Amino acid sequence: MTPPALAIQNLSKTYDGTIAVNNISFSIELGEIFGLLGPNGAGKSTTINMIAGVSRIGSGSIKIFGFDNQSDSRTTRRLVGVMHQEIVIDNFFTIDQALRFHAGYYGVRDDAAWRQRLIDRLGLKPHLHKVMIKLSGGMKRRFMIAKALIHKPRLLILDEPTAGVDVELRHTLWEFVREINQQGTTILLTTHYLEEAEQMCDRIAIMNHGDVIALESTSTLLKELGTRSMLVHLQAPIKELPDNLCCQAVELDDSGTTLRLTLSASQSTGELLKHLCDINLPIADIETRKAGLEEIFLQMTKAGKAKP
């Protein structure tokens, strides 16, 4: 049986008495794009740092393609490429020099064709012989992606790769990530842009206060936990909220002419409409909207809701 790309078992980490990661377990299958989401301080970067070997494991285990990242760290590090959240560069060298060095650190001979492909795809060519200190923030991020991929890792970890970058780079990056994923690279990514996670990830884990509070396929997460909202515009203002609306939440705007109704995933829109007609609400127009990952994320992290 082929081992998963990443298997995390009962992983914990404490900093100065504060639990950063609290006994989490999950695995990432070969060829998956897996999203690890959570608010700042949720424990995502700590988890990633333990996987990559930047931080020591508190307790638990991490296996990468079946190899233990403590006892067989030399093998696991060769299999992983990491793009860190912070900009990590060596100002002494040019992009071209640094990429060659990085291949060497991983024990891999410089593959000129692969290096050139990374340079071309990430738009690094015009800046290839500039020292890092002269590059713009976006260009440094592009370089960091190339650096993470230079040794052809089987698991690519992207820790908030699009934080603070322009739209063009985001498109370039996601297009390229999809391309390398289709060629067999497993991807673990964190992002604060939940729309991106919704579009990119096969499965998503949501972390909060060091715990994994949700772990589902993206479609299941949206289906099971997704809410819908309905805006009901009225012909004449009302003073009080109608009774027995059977919604998760009801709000009336200040003018008294618009009702915002929040429906659960399982609630029937037809039944609600029928009920609104039965109570003789003077309906002028109706708008419906499906909640995205962003709303789900906010619901879960605010409520601290635990889900197995």
Partner 1 sequence: MNQHQEPQFIAWLPFFTLLQKEIRRFLRVASQTLVTPVITASLYLFIFGATLGERISVLEGFSYAQFVIPGLILMGVINNSFSNVASSLFMSRYLGNIVDLLVTPVTPTQFIMAYTLAAMLRGLAVGLVVWLISCLFATLPWAHPLAAIAMACLASFLFAQFGIIAAIHADNFDSLSMYTNFIILPLIYLGGVFYPISILPPLWARLSHLNPLFYLIDGFRYALLGVGDLPFQVSFGVASVMALILFCWAASLIARSYRLRN
Residues making contact with partner 1 (CB under 8 A): 15, 49, 52-56, 73-75, 77-78, 80, 82, 84, 86, 88-93, 97, 101-109, 111, 147, 151-152, 154, 180, 183-185
Q: Which is nearer to partner 1, 9 or 14 (CB)?
A: 14
Residues 52, 156, 6, 300, CA torsion sign: positive
Q: At its nearest, how many Å lie between partner 1 and the CB of residue 171?
A: 20
Q: At its nearest, how many Å lie between partner 1 and the CB of residue 100?
A: 8
Q: At its nearest, how many Å lie between partner 1 and the CB of residue 187?
A: 11
Structure tokens at 269: 């829109």
CA 290 to chain centre: 20
How far apart (Å, rounded) are the C-alpha atoms in residues 176 and 154? 15
Q: At its nearest, how many Å lie between partner 1 and the CB of residue 76?
A: 9
Q: Give 94's DSSP letter.
A: B
Alpha helices (H) in the chain, listed in sequence order: 44-52, 73-79, 95-105, 112-121, 137-149, 167-182, 194-200, 218-225, 269-278, 293-303
Q: Which is nearer to partner 1, 98 or 222 (CB)?
A: 98
At 194, which amino acid appears?
A: L
Q: Which is nearer to partner 1, 45 or 227 (CB)?
A: 45
Q: Which is nearer to partner 1, 88 or 246 (CB)?
A: 88
Q: Which is nearer to partner 1, 1 or 167 (CB)?
A: 1
Q: Which is nearer to partner 1, 4 or 226 (CB)?
A: 4
Q: Which is nearer to partner 1, 89 or 273 (CB)?
A: 89
How far apart (Å, rounded) are the C-alpha atoms in residues 216 and 204? 6
Question: 5 near 186, Cβ under 8 Å?
Answer: yes
Is 278 exposed, middle or buried, given 0-12, 13-18 or 19+ CB atoms closer than 10 A?
A: exposed
Residues 6+ apart with CB under 8 A from 97: none
Structure tokens at 113: 């064709």
User: What are the C-alpha distances in Å from 288 to residues 93, 246, 269?
Assistant: 54, 16, 9
Q: Give 237's DSSP letter.
A: -
Q: Which is nearer to partner 1, 92 or 271 (CB)?
A: 92
**CB-side exposure of 13: number of CA atoms within 13 Å?**
24
Edge-to-edge order in the sheet of strand 258-263: 249-252, 258-263, 228-234, 283-290
Residues 6+ apart with CB under 8 A from 130: 94, 95
